[in-house]
Chain A
């Protein structure tokens, strides 16, 4: 007998098909069987009552740090995947800056095996651009692709050598792999730990000018033009970078870009107001209001394709230290939806565009399956309550690490059910497995 799951009475928002209406999603044997207005539910079918909720394709995160292998005290593939499904993400891309880095099939296979064992979100490994992420020699893209990598990145570090970046873009074309790049000119960054501007002057912290990002984005856009390689700009944070990508797209360059929830929501003034809280330290740093405005505009008009969390778990001992020496990054999987939904409530982002940036757009950027609720597609679905209020209690976060600037804050919007391949892998209020 077929395994049937009905998600009934919810507002189905599926930007890929243009659907935005109250519908029932019928899932048979792990695949979407039907999205219909009225369907008879057989007695044996399981059901999720989605009335008053949004039903969307499962979210896809192009930028997650799972820390395994090597730093399992921060996160494991399993705990990261649990955090993902709790936040509505059914697929996550695992960045390669683990220990060792993912520059070999062995590491890629380990990540995939751990993900399969966890049985929660789909995990797509990202391989290194350079061997050891050292920025000197190309990694073996053929082997990485064959092992299951969907993109290449030296994330956490820029590829400072322009000649290497040129060859990486060229060589990756043979495998159709996008390069997802962390853009900062290290000489301009210097000893910087926060955005450079009036706020860094006030706090007496070394600043990182926005142009440290802009010059690298401009360089890599030029190299993409030279090589025809597929470039994806990670975590854009400046007005200059948004402008550069917009202009490149207008000229027809095959470039995509992502923005994080925190760069859409927080500024350097929030860091100042936090009193040097290291939960506001990340790279790229929280920028000025003008940059945040530009990122919001870029997301709204599609210049920035996707929302990606840059989920970066760190243990308390790496954060509970002086701002100068604290680790960069915050966890983001479990707060992404409500943080971005706030932009919708404030009239800065259309509902459909928000869902697209979390589903169809990231799928298209890396050529991943999913991101839509088409008949016959794998049934990866998020059920979301846009009105649910909740307090971000550290002990209730599924992630092993609790480094979030939203700790203790009340957020509105919550994922109530997450379905991966027809299996309910997260249900609000249900104890963890």
Chain B
């Protein structure tokens, strides 16, 4: 359990305390990752199914590593290798998987709400690894973790999220998580990529990159998916990168000296982010990846371990 939650389907209904509970435990989990022997027995005998209906390397590997470090058994079930192509329904697939008695199902799906549908039909815990343009809660948590680690606190900080907000589940989870922790959130992109009513989530809307990043403590650059070009959301990657992409010159002129640059990956180098920024001093992109494992360890631990897990978590991880 995480606070009131048996599942992690999104951060929209997670309170500040519940988010902090995960982040605090992730601090201990990160210590485990930095040991010479990266293995603790915390989830020995537990099993985790990674059920991925969409291509993913980073997130699936991150959950897999997280499970293995905690000594859980991880099974990867990908849509291409499954019976989905034979016409099996999502519910039949998860019922079959559930019959194998997993403790946690981690699911990624192209349809918003699919993890919730699964959670309503299975007895085990469900973690969303991203559903449509709805939420990607573990990414939101790892972004919060990274920012909290680098900035000390999110209280009063200003974070800009730049890119295709409309189609981004990362943006939504980031907005919920960052706001819960006291940050101010700006979203920025061409008007075709700003979803209606996003200000009602608590973010302010900007169309000029310069204005969005002015005074910001961190900038989260989102991946521009190639299928959006000619959708017709944007005319070309050329114009997009010129107006909304970040390069060293703009970073030097427009960002405050301490402003961090983040990206959920995979990066389209030369589109939203130039290599001179992605690999530059401000970039914490690889920290995000490392922290992703720690945060997912915390999620798995809290949700696979039963109600007493949270209490014994820190002791166990530090043992």
Which A residues are closer than 8 A to B by beta carbons? 196-207, 275-276, 317, 320-325
Contact = CB atoms under 8 A, between A and B. Distances in A.
A196 B133 CA distance: 13
B197 A275 contact: no
B225 to A, nearest CB: 14
Interface stretch (B75-83, B108-116, B257-265, B300-308): B108-116
A292 B193 CA distance: 27
Contacts of A199: 197
B12 interface: yes
A324 B166 CA distance: 16
A46 B112 CA distance: 57
Contact of B113 (A201, A206, A276, A317): A276
B200 to A, nearest CB: 5
B201 A202 contact: yes
B131 interface: yes
B65 interface: no
B198 A203 contact: no
Given A202-B12, A204-B132, A276 B90 contact: no
Given A201-B201, A205-B133, A322 B113 contact: yes
A324 B111 contact: yes
A321 B90 contact: yes
Contacts of A197: 196-197
B201 A276 contact: no
B64 interface: no
B109 A322 contact: yes
B113 A198 contact: no
Contacts of A325: 111
5 closest A-B pairs by CB: A198-B197, A204-B134, A276-B113, A322-B111, A204-B133
B198 A324 contact: no
B89 interface: yes
Contacts of B41: none
A199 B134 CA distance: 11
A257 B120 CA distance: 39
Contacts of A202: 12, 172, 197, 200-201
Nearest to A326: B111
B214 interface: no
Nearest to B121: A320
A275 B116 contact: yes
Contacts of B208: none
B110 A324 contact: yes
Which of B166, B196, B201 is the most central at the interface, judged by chain A CB atoms within 10 Å of its CB? B196
Interface in B122-146: 131-135
A387 B215 CA distance: 62
B70 to A, nearest CB: 29
Contacts of B111: 322-325
B55 interface: no
Interface in B168-220: 169, 172, 195-198, 200-201
B286 interface: no
A202 B172 CA distance: 8
Given A199-B197, A202-B172, 9 more contacts: A196-B196, A198-B197, A198-B198, A201-B197, A203-B112, A204-B134, A205-B133, A322-B109, A322-B113
A23 to B, nearest CB: 51
A207 to B, nearest CB: 7
Most B C-beta atoms less than 10 A away, residue of A203, A321, A325: A203
B91 interface: yes
Most chain B CB atoms below 10 A, which of A196, A207, A324: A324
Contacts of B110: 324
B135 A204 contact: yes
Contact of A320 (B89, B131, B134, B197): B89
A278 to B, nearest CB: 9
Contact of A324 (B12, B91, B132, B169): B132
B117 interface: yes
Contact of A205 (B89, B112, B117, B200): B112
A328 to B, nearest CB: 15
Given A201-B201, A204-B132, A321 B89 contact: yes
Contacts of A205: 112-113, 132-134
B289 to A, nearest CB: 24
B89 A317 contact: yes
B197 A323 contact: no
A200 B133 CA distance: 10
B238 to A, nearest CB: 25
A276 to B, nearest CB: 3
A276 B134 CA distance: 11
A5 B102 CA distance: 65
Interface string B159-172: 00000001001001
B117 A276 contact: yes
